[in-house]
A and B are shown apart, each in its own frame.
Chain A
Amino acid sequence: MDEVEKYLAKEKEQLESRKAPEELNERLRLALEQVPPRRKTKAPKWIALAAAIMILSFVSYNYNAFAYYGKKLLGYDELMTETLAQLNEKGSGQAIEKKVILSDGTELYLDGLLTDENQSILYYTVKNPKGVVEESYFDLIRGSWTKAFATYGTSSENEDGTEIKGIQAFEAVSPFAKKLTLEYRYNEGTEQEEITFPYNPKLAMQTELKQSIRKKVHVDQGTIRFDSITATPSRTTIKAKVNVDNFDRIQLGGGGVQLLANGKPVDLTGSSSKSAIFGQDLELYYDRLPKDLDTLELVVDKFAGYQSLNEAIALSGGDDQSEEIHGKKLIIRKIEKGTDGIHVTIATEQDILLEGVSIQSKGKSTPLQTTLRADLLDVENGETYNERVLLFNTDKLPDTFSIEGMHYAKRYGERIQIIGNKKTVEGN
Chain B
Amino acid sequence: MRIVKLVKKAKKGSKEALLQLISEQQDAYYRLALSYMGNSHDAMDAMEDMIVSLYHSIPQLKKEESFYSWSKTILVNRCKKLLQQQNRVILMETTEENSETPINFSDDTNSFTQAEQRLDLKDMLSTLNASQQEAIELKYLHDLDLQTIADMTNVSIGTVKSRIFQGLKKMRDQFGGEWNG
Chains A and B belong together in one complex: yes
Residues of A within 8 A of B (CB): 2-5, 7-21, 23-25, 27-29, 31-33, 35, 37-38, 40-41, 156-157, 159, 161, 319-320, 333-334, 336, 345, 377, 379-381
B44 neighbours in A (Cβ, 8 Å)? 21, 23-24, 27
A161 neighbours in B (Cβ, 8 Å)? 9, 12
Given A7, A16, A159, A336, which contacts B158 in the complex, CB threshold below 8 Å?
A336
Instruction: Kindly state the separation between the CA atoms of A5 and B171 in the bound complex, as whole angstroms.
Output: 10
- A40 and B12: CB pair below 8 A? yes
Chain A residue nearest to B33 in the complex (CB): A20
- B30 and A24: CB pair below 8 A? yes
- A7 and B23: CB pair below 8 A? no
User: Shortest CB–CB separation between residue A379 and chain B, in angstroms?
Assistant: 7
B14 neighbours in A (Cβ, 8 Å)? 159
Instruction: Kindly state the separation between the CA atoms of A9 and B140 in the bound complex, as whole angstroms.
Output: 7
CB-CB under 8 A for A12 and B106, given A7-B124, A24-B47, A35-B55: no
Give the 7 A-B residue pairs with the shortest CB-CB distance, closest first: A20-B30, A8-B140, A31-B48, A3-B179, A20-B26, A32-B15, A12-B141
Residues of B within 8 A of A (CB): 9, 12-15, 18-19, 22-23, 26-27, 29-31, 34-35, 40, 44, 47-48, 51-52, 55-56, 59, 77, 80-81, 84, 101, 103-107, 117-118, 120-121, 124, 136, 140-141, 143, 154-156, 158-159, 168, 171-172, 175-176, 179-180
- B59 and A4: CB pair below 8 A? no
Given B26, B107, B143, B159, which contacts A12 in the complex, CB threshold below 8 Å?
B143
- B31 and A15: CB pair below 8 A? yes
CB-CB under 8 A for A11 and B154, given A18-B31, A32-B19, A38-B55: no
Chain B residue nearest to A156 in the complex (CB): B13
Instruction: Kindly state the separation between the CA atoms of A29 and B80 in the bound complex, as whole angstroms.
Output: 23
B29 neighbours in A (Cβ, 8 Å)? 20
- B172 and A28: CB pair below 8 A? no
B171 neighbours in A (Cβ, 8 Å)? 4
Chain B residue nearest to A382 in the complex (CB): B81
CB-CB under 8 A for A25 and B154, given A8-B141, A18-B34: no
- B15 and A4: CB pair below 8 A? no
- B172 and A18: CB pair below 8 A? no
Instruction: Kindly state the separation between the CA atoms of A333 and B179 in the bound complex, as whole angstroms.
Output: 36
- B12 and A157: CB pair below 8 A? yes
A-B contact pairs, 16 of them (CB 8 A): A3-B172, A4-B168, A4-B175, A7-B117, A8-B121, A8-B140, A8-B141, A11-B141, A24-B30, A24-B47, A27-B47, A31-B51, A32-B15, A32-B19, A333-B156, A381-B81
- B117 and A28: CB pair below 8 A? no
Instruction: Kindly state the separation between the CA atoms of A298 and B86 in the bound complex, as whole angstroms.
Output: 42
Given A5, A10, A21, A40, which contacts B117 in the complex, CB threshold below 8 Å?
A10
Instruction: Kindly state the separation between the CA atoms of A16 and B59 in the bound complex, as whole angstroms.
Output: 31
- B13 and A37: CB pair below 8 A? yes
Instruction: Kindly state the separation between the CA atoms of A41 and B23 in the bound complex, as whole angstroms.
Output: 27
B172 neighbours in A (Cβ, 8 Å)? 2-4
- A29 and B19: CB pair below 8 A? yes
A319 neighbours in B (Cβ, 8 Å)? 155, 159
B159 neighbours in A (Cβ, 8 Å)? 319, 334
User: Shortest CB–CB separation between residue B106 and chain A, in angstroms?
Assistant: 6
Chain B residue nearest to A24 in the complex (CB): B44
A24 neighbours in B (Cβ, 8 Å)? 26, 30, 44, 47
- B47 and A28: CB pair below 8 A? yes
Instruction: Kindly state the separation between the CA atoms of A40 and B52 in the bound complex, as whole angstroms.
Output: 16
- A32 and B18: CB pair below 8 A? yes
Instruction: Kindly state the separation between the CA atoms of A157 and B12 in the bound complex, as whole angstroms.
Output: 7
- A40 and B13: CB pair below 8 A? yes
A159 neighbours in B (Cβ, 8 Å)? 14
Instruction: Kindly state the separation between the CA atoms of A33 and B124 in the bound complex, as whole angstroms.
Output: 43
User: Shortest CB–CB separation between residue B12 and chain A, in angstroms?
Assistant: 5
User: Shortest CB–CB separation between residue A180 and chain B, in angstroms?
Assistant: 30
Chain A residue nearest to B99 in the complex (CB): A18
- A31 and B52: CB pair below 8 A? yes
B30 neighbours in A (Cβ, 8 Å)? 18-21, 24
Q: Apart from A15-B141, A19-B27, A20-B30, what 19 extra A-B contacts exist at CB < 8 Å?
A: A4-B168, A7-B124, A8-B141, A14-B105, A16-B27, A18-B27, A18-B34, A20-B29, A27-B44, A28-B19, A28-B51, A31-B51, A31-B52, A32-B18, A32-B52, A35-B15, A40-B12, A377-B154, A381-B84
